[in-house]
Structure formats: structure tokens, C-alpha cells
Amino acid sequence: MRLDLTILIPHLGFLAEGALLTLEACALALIGSVILGMLVAIARTSSSKWISRLAFLYVDLFRNIPFIVQLFFFYYGLPEIGIYIDAFTTGVVALSIAGGAYASDAIRAGILAIDNGILEAAEVSGLSKRVTFTRIVLPIALRTSVRPLGSVLINMILTSSILSTITLNELTGQAKIVASDTFRPFEVYVVLLVVYAALTYLVSLGITLLHRRLNRDLQEQVS
């Protein structure tokens, strides 16, 4: 069998729709998991035992259950007890919850790495806890956690292919349809390989640029 990519031309728009859905779901889930990760990271450093325990439980739990099981639970399990959520929302929520567990690790590490003297300087100058957190703790933590957060995002893009199992026709879902319509799985999946690789490559490039921007002071020092 020869590789003949031209047979896919009529299906490109269809595949692009899927890629767009993948990007949409991942973008929303990224926001969701970073916010969740932030809250959980704060909760994990909380002085209240119950709050920090709950946060640790969440992280341990969701990191130790296969994503597909979590997803099936939300999509096929919850309706049994009367909770119906559409496939797209389920996908975004599931990715956010799973990603949040990893994101909280990245953010927590960034927070813990902050030099205590910097926080003391903020404290004695009278800055409120809120301002200290938003203007000092978070931006400094992000400087170091942007890379691990990037890995979380890349993993999320890869994991999002599993959303096709709950009828969500993102990139992989659309590809499956095209493969069965055209009987050319080889070509279809070659394209899929390339598209996922390109997608994650672009994301990691973006992360590198963002990392460089957040740490621009250190860059210039070296040069």
C-alpha cells in the first residue's frame, strides 16, 4: 500500500474542526486546571489541617486513577444518579480536574521555592496578604512553574484524545470517522501523528518563550 495523502484533501476541513475542538477543550481545561491547581496549592500550604488534608487527598486520588476511568465515571456513571453533563463540558471538567492535580504540584513547588526574606520584606512594608499573593508570590512562583505547567498542558493535549471515547469528536474522534469513511487508516493516522506532534511542539515553543519572558531579567544578565 502506498501513502497517498491526497485522498484526505476533501476531509481536511472536517479534521480541522476536530483539531479546533481539541484546542478549545485544552485551552479551557488549561485555565480550569491552573485555577484549580492554584487553589489546591494554596490549600495544601494552608494552616488548617482539614483543608490541607482534603487538598492532598484530591491530588493523590486523581493522580492514581486512570484518566479514562475518571472520564467514564463522569460521563456514564453520573447520569445513573441523575447528573447529566454534555460531552464537551464533561471533557473539559475531567481534564481540568485531572490536570489541576498536577498543576497544583508545579505551582506549590514554585511557591515553596520563594525566598522567605522576600516575603518578610513584603510583610514589613505593610502589604496585605492578598496583594502579597497576587503581586509577589504568584508571579515569582510562575517564573519557576511555567515549565512544569507546560508539561501539564502538553500531557493534557495528549490525554484529550481520550475524549473521543465519550462521543466528543475532537481531533482523534474526527480522525476515526474519516478513517472508517475512507478505509485509509494509514494515511489518516499518519496525519494525526504529525498534527499532535506539531501541536505539542508549538505549545512547548510557546512555553519556552513565556518562560524567557517571565525570566527576562536573568536572560539579560547572562548576555
Partner 1 sequence: MLKVENVKKAFGPVTVLDGVNLTVNPGEVVSILGSSGSGKSTLIRCINGLEKLNAGKITVDDFDVSKPKELAEARKRSGTVFQLFNLYPHMTALQNITLAPIEVLKRPKAEAEAEGRALLTQVGLGDRADAYPAQLSGGQRQRVGICRALAMKPRYLLLDEVTSALDPEMTSEVLDILAKLAKDGTTMVFVTHEIEFARQISNRIVFLEKGVLLVDLPTEKFFAADGGLAQPRVAQFLSKMRKD
Q: Which residues bind partner 1 (CB under 8 A)?
A: 115, 117-118, 120-128, 131, 135-136, 139-140, 143, 214, 216-218, 220-221
Phi/psi zone of residue 115: left (φ > 0), alpha (ψ -120 to 50 degrees), beta? Answer: beta
- For residue 26, give the nearest of 154, 166, 207 by alpha carbon: 154
Cβ 106 to partner 1 shortest distance, Å: 17
Cβ proximity to partner 1, 64 vs 125, nearer residue: 125
| 109 or 127: CB nearest partner 1 | 127
CB closer to partner 1, 54 vs 119:
119
Shortest Cβ 209–partner 1 spacing (Å) = 17
Nearest to partner 1 of 127, 179 (CB atom) = 127
Compute the Cα dihedral for 21, 169, 179, 11 and give only its sign.
Answer: negative
Three-class SS state of 172: helix
Whole-number Å distance between alpha carbons of 61 and 86: 24
Report the run of H or E that residue 2 belongs to, with start and end.
Answer: none
Query: Least distance from C-beta 221 to partner 1, angstroms?
Result: 5
- Alpha-carbon gap, residue 187 to 195, rounded angstroms: 12
135/212 with CB nearer partner 1: 135
CB of 87 to partner 1, least distance (A): 40
CA distance 136 to 9: 51
Q: Please, which residues have CB within 8 angstroms of residue 58's CB and are 6 or more apart in sequence?
A: 40, 101
Residue 129 Cβ vs partner 1, minimum distance, rounded to whole Å? 12
